[in-house]
Structure 1
Amino acid sequence: MNSALEVILQFPILSGIILLIVSPVIILLIRKAGHGCKLLGLYIRAPDRAAWMTGDLSPDEINSYFQLLASRHDACPRHGNRRIDRLHWQIYMGFVHLRGRLSHTPAGIIGMVPAARWYFDNYNFFYKALMAIQANGNLIKFHSMPALTDAAENRYPRVYSLARSIVSSSKFHLNIEHVFTIIENYLQGRQLLARELWTLPDMLTLCLLEKAAEQSRAVLRIINVKQEADRVVNHLSARLGHDEAGIPHLLRKMCKPGLLIDSAFVSHFYFRLKSMFIADKDIESWLIEAIGNPANQNGVWLQEVLDTEAENETSCSASYHR
């Protein structure tokens, strides 16, 4: 081994050829190892972002807001800013996690959550949109975008903050006229670089995907709650018809704190038992006793929960089939 190494060192040209052959392999292995670490969740998360805008604003209020936003958007040139890269990967991993969870969720549960079906059906669209932003090295162009100097904005690119505000103000339903009006008002107080304007469509897409990824967490929570309700009902089914007096105690014992007042859990638990031909009054009495509040308050609360859940499922199903 030592003699072979000595021979190679004596011939610089041979050493260079070997280095040219080996280097790409080493670089590829390093990149694959880095990608594998990211898939395992070992990656740097994007810094916190500002909260999404809430509330209904009139057109005049929106115009005033963006003029004020422009006056606050002091930015400076910044190179090597990888915040959008990290955010892009974080969104991607959020959708990968969502798809993995949905793939292992029983079809019956997914069928009861219209939003879960929507995410499942549109996963390929999300994936293609994320890859389109990344294609041909497009993420690199965000590295040198002017970044906000305000510490509260965590030095994100100015165009990202603008795109996020546009998406929020439009209630996550964009139209060209609305976007053009906002940009015109913004430009009255702050000029944007041409490359910022060119990247604005990609930023708007990224912000919509970011919001969709955030909302998917709520969908997963509902799925978890409904699966927990299934587990509880399956465990209690052995006691139905006999020894029903101990069901409220078992409910308190089996359910995590706060679960018995969760509307998704209560509604799924109720309709599962109802499908097993259990009387409404029995289900209500078990829940009321398990929660431990006065019966009259719980009866009203329970009926409100069931009515609201029924309305939500009806409206979601109708919109889904449209």
Structure 2
Amino acid sequence: MTRAALAIPTLDQENVIVIKNKPRIFSRRRSLTSNERDTDLLRGELLSIEQLKRHAVMLASQHKIDPYPRPDRLLSRLADNEHVLHAAYDVVTASTLGQRIVPAEAWLLDNFYLIEQQIAQARQHLPRGYSRQLPRLKDGSSAGFPRIYDLALELIAHMDGRVDSDNASQFIAAYQSAEPLKIGELWAFPIMLQLALLENLRRVVLRIARRREERDAAIIWADRMLAAAEREPKQLIHHLAEFANADVLLTAPFVEEFYARLQAQGPAMAFVQTWVEQKLLEQGVSATQLSATAASTAATNQISIANSIGSLRFIGVMDWRDYVESLSVVEQTLRENPAGMHANQTFVTRDRYRHVIEDVARGSSQSEIVVARAAIDLAQRAADQLGRNERSAHVGYYLIDRGRPLLEQAVGCRLTRRVRFRRMSRNFRLPIYLSPILLITTLVTAVVLSAFGGIALDDWRYWFFALTGMIAASALAMPLVNMMVTLILPPRSLPRLDFSKGIPDIHRTMVVVPTLLSKSQDIDDLLEALEIRYLGNRDSNLFFALLTDFCDAHECIQPGDEALLAQARTAVNTLNATYSEDRTCIFYLFHRPREWNAVDRVWMGYERKRGKLEQFNALLRGEAQSAFSEVVGDTAILASIKYVITLDTIPSCRAMLHER
């Protein structure tokens, strides 16, 4: 059943009585609509979630994709909707000054700013030609429009404009159980919902504006008759005759407003009401019936505009990234990655993988699902042969790394000349980079030497100016070429893991601060800074440590060494006791003794900062067990530390605790 068959009666389909056989419509009313369907609400049979899911499966079996490109019709329709919405808003705004406002009109006036925002966003997110990349329907009521746009229309029609995360997710999921959607279609769904809701609002607002015009007409006629009855009662019969000859449409809104005005005057207008009632009875309808029709239509308009505006607000606050990933069949396929890391990556990284799937699918005759499955199969084959920890066992190796040609070969992807040239040029990156530098240097040097044309080649001055000119020209050429390279070849971001919800156990991390123990106040400052860092990063798999040495000295042991070390030891233990409810051990101290440096002829920590980090990493690997003379904290977790983050001391300490 089509949406046209399910549409509720429009204003023109209401009980309308025409005084004469030649009805007239206000010129403004004609300007608001070009055809009768403009007021047909996107409203079909209201469905439950289960019925909606069955309807989605039925649509999947009915949709036929047009293989040929078609012109973009969405932008032109959006522009037309914007024009109609503004025109209708102007009608309501101008007519309601000093008049009674019905609830549907109040919804429009209070929320029109939101409608304008949504129109601007829709135009911004729907660049010209964008919808051409989406599969289009070959036939049906939405022929020529993107398939995903038709799904948005269907959802709005059978939910009466009320869209939420539940019905949107289940509707699309049910459709994909029969026919998977492309990644681009899923991303386009929010904007298509916006366009469909704006389309529905256009129709609702047109109905509201028409009803307002009909009420305005009733007010004009009623006021003329009331004024005549007050000034010259004898002229009232002439106004009634003029009313009868004016071809006025006795619509439900007109009669309701007309009666409301006349009834306030009591018996003086009784014969006018009697005449109108007689005309209505001749057509088989009463004023009471028209009033009920008007109330029903007003309620329908109010519900439709309220649901549509509420759905527009929902679209603005919905996290569509999670929505797309939860419904993307490609994403679910990629999560079968044998390395088990795909789901733990950042959204940007996962989205980059999906874009590659789209590109490869466009270059081949295979669907996105087939391409994703081929990438998983290649990764699984590598995992079986080389192990899951091998780089080629990760699906990203075949999407953004050196394994991509293998994937393209597996699915029969045809590369464009531009892509082939770009890949071929990677083998000659250094010559390509140096060539423009040499060219610019040579040209600038030649220009400089041309100013010294009278100097012979065997003159030393010629070669002096040539050499200095080349040095100066290269200093100009290199930054110029570097700037051009950054503009032509933007940097490619590396894949990243997502730790926004916490660091997993397999990525346990130690934050270390290499420093010196020199004064008591410095130790207090260091531990305070370490505590502040923890309070800002209270992750269960994040630990904090000081890597300390004593200051350089002419002897191995200095008088105040033990006191400083004891203070540091006590401070670390105190911090662990303070936050023992979080974890038993969070803070650590790793201290090294002085060693004799024969070159500098001084007792010092081995290789200072670099040596501390080197020996600490060795300790994590189970080596250099004797490198640190003092270790405070639970050493059982050291073997599970995978990453080490190195921080400098805080600025206030750095001035006092600098390492040579």
After TM superposition, give the deviation of residue 250 of structure 1 in Å: 3.5
After TM superposition, give the deviation of residue 119 of structure 1 in Å: 1.2
Asked if the contact 1:248/1:289 (under 8 Å) is kept, the reply is no
After TM superposition, give the deviation of residue 202 of structure 1 in Å: 1.0
Structure 2 residue aligned with 1:89, among 79, 99, 104?
A: 79
Asked if the contact 2:135/2:147 (under 8 Å) is kept, the reply is yes
**Letter paired with 2:276:** L
Once the two structures are overlaid, the 10-residue window that deviates more, 278-287 or 211-220, is 278-287
5+ residue gaps in structure 2? 1-30, 307-660
Structure 1 residue aligned with 2:186, among 190, 197, 208?
A: 197
TM-score by length of 2: 0.36
User: Superposition pairs for residues 129-278 of structure 1, below 5 Å?
Assistant: 129-135=118-124, 138-150=127-139, 152-240=141-229, 242-243=233-234, 244-245=236-237, 248-256=240-248, 259-260=249-250, 262-278=251-267
The one of the two structures with greater contact order (alpha-carbon pairs below 8 A, sep at least 6) is: 1
After TM superposition, give the deviation of residue 304 of structure 1 in Å: 3.8
Asked if the contact 1:66/1:186 (under 8 Å) is kept, the reply is yes
For residues 297 and 90 of structure 2, the distance between their equivalents in structure 1, rounded to whole angstroms, comes to 26
Structure 1 residue aligned with 2:116, among 94, 107, 127?
A: 127
Residue in 2 that maps onto 1:107? 97
**Letter paired with 2:55:** Y
Q: Cα deviation per residue 1:273-318 (whole Å; 9 max; x = unaligned)? A: 2233456754531322454629xx76xx22344466578879999x
1:288 aligns with 2:277: yes
For residues 107 and 89 of structure 1, the distance between their equivalents in structure 2, rounded to whole angstroms, comes to 28
**Letter paired with 2:143:** N
Structure 1 residue aligned with 2:53, among 52, 59, 63?
A: 63
Asked if the contact 1:248/1:290 (under 8 Å) is kept, the reply is no
The 3 A distance-change label for structure 1 pair 312 and 212 is closer
**Letter paired with 2:257:** H
After TM superposition, give the deviation of residue 123 of structure 1 in Å: 1.3
Secondary structure at the residue paired with 2:215? helix
After TM superposition, give the deviation of residue 195 of structure 1 in Å: 0.6
Q: Cα deviation per residue 1:13-44 (whole Å; 9 max; x = unaligned)? A: xxxxxxxxxxxxxxxxxxxxxxxxxxxx9xxx
For residues 262 and 41 of structure 2, the distance between their equivalents in structure 1, rounded to whole angstroms, comes to 40
Higher strand share: 2
For residues 227 and 163 of structure 2, the distance between their equivalents in structure 1, rounded to whole angstroms, comes to 52
After TM superposition, give the deviation of residue 229 of structure 1 in Å: 0.8
After TM superposition, give the deviation of residue 135 of structure 1 in Å: 1.6
**Letter paired with 1:95:** L
The 3 A distance-change label for structure 1 pair 307 and 160 is closer
The 3 A distance-change label for structure 1 pair 246 and 288 is farther
The 3 A distance-change label for structure 1 pair 144 and 107 is same
For residues 43 and 86 of structure 2, the distance between their equivalents in structure 1, rounded to whole angstroms, comes to 27
Once the two structures are overlaid, the 10-residue window that deviates more, 67-76 or 280-289, is 280-289
**Letter paired with 1:190:** E
After TM superposition, give the deviation of residue 83 of structure 1 in Å: 0.9
Higher helix share: 1
Residue in 2 that maps onto 1:303? 288
**Letter paired with 2:214:** V
Secondary structure at the residue paired with 1:81? coil
Q: Cα deviation per residue 1:123-145 (whole Å; 9 max; x = unaligned)? A: 11011111112226545421221
For residues 153 and 194 of structure 1, the distance between their equivalents in structure 2, rounded to whole angstroms, comes to 21
**Letter paired with 2:217:** E
Secondary structure at the residue paired with 2:179? coil
After TM superposition, give the deviation of residue 160 of structure 1 in Å: 0.6
The 3 A distance-change label for structure 1 pair 306 and 283 is farther
Alignment RMSD:
3.5
After TM superposition, give the deviation of residue 100 of structure 1 in Å: 2.5
Secondary structure at the residue paired with 1:254? coil
For residues 74 and 300 of structure 2, the distance between their equivalents in structure 1, rounded to whole angstroms, comes to 36
The 3 A distance-change label for structure 1 pair 276 and 174 is same
For residues 245 and 229 of structure 1, the distance between their equivalents in structure 2, rounded to whole angstroms, comes to 17
Once the two structures are overlaid, the 10-residue window that deviates more, 146-155 or 185-194, is 146-155
**Letter paired with 1:54:** G
For residues 311 and 212 of structure 1, the distance between their equivalents in structure 2, rounded to whole angstroms, comes to 18
**Letter paired with 1:240:** A
The 3 A distance-change label for structure 1 pair 309 and 158 is closer
For residues 99 and 304 of structure 1, the distance between their equivalents in structure 2, rounded to whole angstroms, comes to 29
After TM superposition, give the deviation of residue 84 of structure 1 in Å: 1.1
The 3 A distance-change label for structure 1 pair 307 and 142 is closer
Asked if the contact 1:146/1:158 (under 8 Å) is kept, the reply is yes
For residues 312 and 217 of structure 1, the distance between their equivalents in structure 2, rounded to whole angstroms, comes to 13
The 3 A distance-change label for structure 1 pair 127 and 284 is same
The 3 A distance-change label for structure 1 pair 238 and 101 is closer
Asked if the contact 1:229/1:268 (under 8 Å) is kept, the reply is yes
After TM superposition, give the deviation of residue 89 of structure 1 in Å: 1.0
1:75 aligns with 2:60: no
Q: Cα deviation per residue 1:85-107 (whole Å; 9 max; x = unaligned)? A: 11211111111212332343241
Secondary structure at the residue paired with 2:178? coil
After TM superposition, give the deviation of residue 70 of structure 1 in Å: 0.5
5+ residue gaps in structure 1? 1-40
Larger Rg: 2
Residue in 2 that maps onto 1:31? none
For residues 81 and 299 of structure 2, the distance between their equivalents in structure 1, rounded to whole angstroms, comes to 30
Asked if the contact 1:148/1:157 (under 8 Å) is kept, the reply is yes
